[in-house]
Structure 1
Amino acid sequence: MDVQVLRSFRAVAEGATVTQAAAEAHLTQPALSRALRRLEREVGAELFQQVGRVLRLTPAGQVFKEHVDDVLDRLDHGLRAVRETVSPESGLIPLAFLHSLGTWLLPSLITGYRERFPLARFELRQGSEAVLLRTLLDGTADLLLTAEDPGHALVTWRRLLVEPLWLAVPPGHRLAQRRRARLAEVADEPFIMLRHEQGLRAVTEALCRRSGFTPRAGFEGDEVATLRGLVAAGLGVSLLPRPHSATPAGRRAPRYLQVTDVETTRDIGIAWLTSRALPANSRRFIDHALDHAAAVAEQEHVSAQEQ
């Protein structure tokens, strides 16, 4: 069987049109249609059925696709391993990361790594914790930068940093002129929170319970930046990491207060599949991330002593 035809089969099975798959394979649409019919003859069963204007997998096609996915994934991993053996300095690192880490931790990690290995390449994906965990489990990503231990039996997780969370309130809020506050002081106010599939949502709810109340959701969003904007607009309060860059001039920003009645932090870590033998570049990136985190912690310790 032709590998490119198998790749085109998978593309069509996952929703691409034959025309789109043909363009990706640098074939004409009739040529790919003929190739898919030859594939069906080799398999001995119809793999697609026409539903309206699109092709859908038959039951036989669904079974076949599971094995095609496995074959192509193994082949791609093998090709990648060969490339990294021939040119170890230019290997690819498939890395998934949490939205809120894309503005500060991820750029510094990549910059530092590429200073040592300038030819290294990254394949990046971002999303919620649940989405990112799936990319790790299905082999799409080698590594995952996330908050909190995923707690999955197949995953190894190492803490990199402990990130403080602050009580974010609107600029005109009754607590806005203070530097510290108890979380319990906003128990009756609406909380601007991430959706339930996001780890920071669970952290927020757990910390509020420790402070003696259940937070009332005023809005549920997908990204920390959205939460900051809605807090600044006066729609509620939130528990958030402080931004790692200055707010643009003229834009309203929340006020950030240190919480005194409970310890408000979240763990930031790196994860990978325990049973998988990682390529050399991904193993080096883990070591780099751990070294970077240790250097940041040491710098913060020195700064605290100087103060």
Structure 2
Amino acid sequence: MDIQHLKYLVEVAKHKNFTKASQSLHVSQPSISKMIKSLEAELQVTLLDRSERKVELTDAGKLVFEQAVKILQMVEDVHSSVNELVHIKKGTINMGLMPTLGVMLFPSVIAGFKKEYPQIDIQMAEASGKLLERKVLEGEVDLGITVLPVHSEMFESIPLLKEELVVIADPEHWLSERKFVSLSDLENEDLILFTEEFVLHDVVKQACLESGIEPNVVNESSLWDIVGEMVVAQFGISIVPLSVANRFKGRVSVVSITSPTVNWELALIYRKNKYLSYATREFIAYIQEGKTNYNFKE
């Protein structure tokens, strides 16, 4: 039994005539008759009383007809829902953002997307970069806004923003008189880092090791604001993205790192070889086509 069997039965029952049903369905009368006989053989009952001029449903036929009408309506509802989803642009996107920085950069992006797709709902959750990778991998969120690098064999990534990492120090620190500094010059400095669940933690430590120094980490935090306030309070210095440093403008000195230059790269990631909903694909296309109100560029 398939949908076609039920459709033919319903049409014959409505018209009470094979000829009219065939005209309505644009199918030959023998084809309809053969299909219904096949259905009767499968169910082992007679569905149509063909003895009179008008074809009538038998008791079994009435039962099957009622169920067939419901099933065909459900199938029609499925088609209508999918059509609505695609053409009226509905759906939900589950997105993971890094605390503070993702929120700082993305409100204008999401606002622009919502104007174009008002019926797509975006649900956001905050997590550190490494935790976001896990959430995307395990399907807890569809998309993640995180820091590169990520595992290329597991994730597709769309670069969004590339910033330099800079040193921030309190205004009385010797670095306040410098515009540029090498990482090797920071060997004896007290360093405030982000905790290990942040990709930035690994980026900074790796850059220090490649410069031949072992960073003297005196404190770690998971909050950008606390890191900045600790620098202002002279607990030590920190290495942060320029956009974060600018949040403390006037309260800290910002010094560029010239040897080596260390970059911080923000990206949109999603799991490879995973089905993506219509809404999620539309958001990815929106980012790729450069429709955002935020100028994502190096």
Q: Same fold (TM over 0.5)?
A: yes
**Compared CA separation, residues 128 and 293, structure 1 to 2 (3 A):** farther
2:273 aligns to what?
Answer: 275
1:104 aligns with 2:104: yes
One-letter amino acid of the counterpart of residue 287, structure 1: A
2:242 aligns to what?
Answer: 242
Deviation of 1:148 after TM superposition, in Å, equals: 0.7
Confirm or deny: 8 A CA contact 1:83 1:91 kept in the other structure: no
Deviation of 1:84 after TM superposition, in Å, equals: 6.5
1:117 aligns to what?
Answer: 117
Deviation of 1:202 after TM superposition, in Å, equals: 0.4
One-letter amino acid of the counterpart of residue 195, structure 1: T
Taking only the aligned residue pairs, the percentage that are identical comes to 23
Structure 1 SS opposite 2:160: strand
**Compared CA separation, residues 244 and 114, structure 1 to 2 (3 A):** farther
1:206 aligns to what?
Answer: 206
Q: Which TM-score applies when normalising by structure 1?
A: 0.64
Confirm or deny: 8 A CA contact 1:167 1:237 kept in the other structure: yes
Alpha-carbon distance in 2 for matches of 1:151, 1:216: 28
Matched positions, count: 218
1:139 aligns to what?
Answer: 139
2:224 aligns to what?
Answer: 224
2:260 aligns to what?
Answer: 262
Deviation of 1:88 after TM superposition, in Å, equals: 4.1
Alpha-carbon distance in 1 for matches of 2:288, 2:235: 38
Confirm or deny: 8 A CA contact 2:159 2:266 kept in the other structure: yes
1:69 aligns to what?
Answer: none
Gaps of 5+ in 2: 1-77
Matches within 5 A, 1:154-173: 154-173=154-173
Determine which structure has more spread, i.e. the larger CA radius of gyration: 2
2:17 aligns to what?
Answer: none
Deviation of 1:293 after TM superposition, in Å, equals: 8.9
Deviation of 1:198 after TM superposition, in Å, equals: 1.1
One-letter amino acid of the counterpart of residue 268, structure 1: L
Alpha-carbon distance in 1 for matches of 2:244, 2:276: 31
Deviation of 1:231 after TM superposition, in Å, equals: 1.1
**Compared CA separation, residues 106 and 297, structure 1 to 2 (3 A):** closer
One-letter amino acid of the counterpart of residue 276, structure 2: L
Deviation of 1:208 after TM superposition, in Å, equals: 1.2
Which range moved further: 172-181 or 186-195? 172-181
Alpha-carbon distance in 2 for matches of 1:232, 1:96: 30
Deviation of 1:271 after TM superposition, in Å, equals: 0.9
Structure 1 SS opposite 2:177: coil
2:150 aligns to what?
Answer: 150
One-letter amino acid of the counterpart of residue 110, structure 1: I
Q: CA RMSD in A?
A: 2.8
1:291 aligns to what?
Answer: 289
Structure 1 SS opposite 2:140: coil
1:185 aligns to what?
Answer: 185
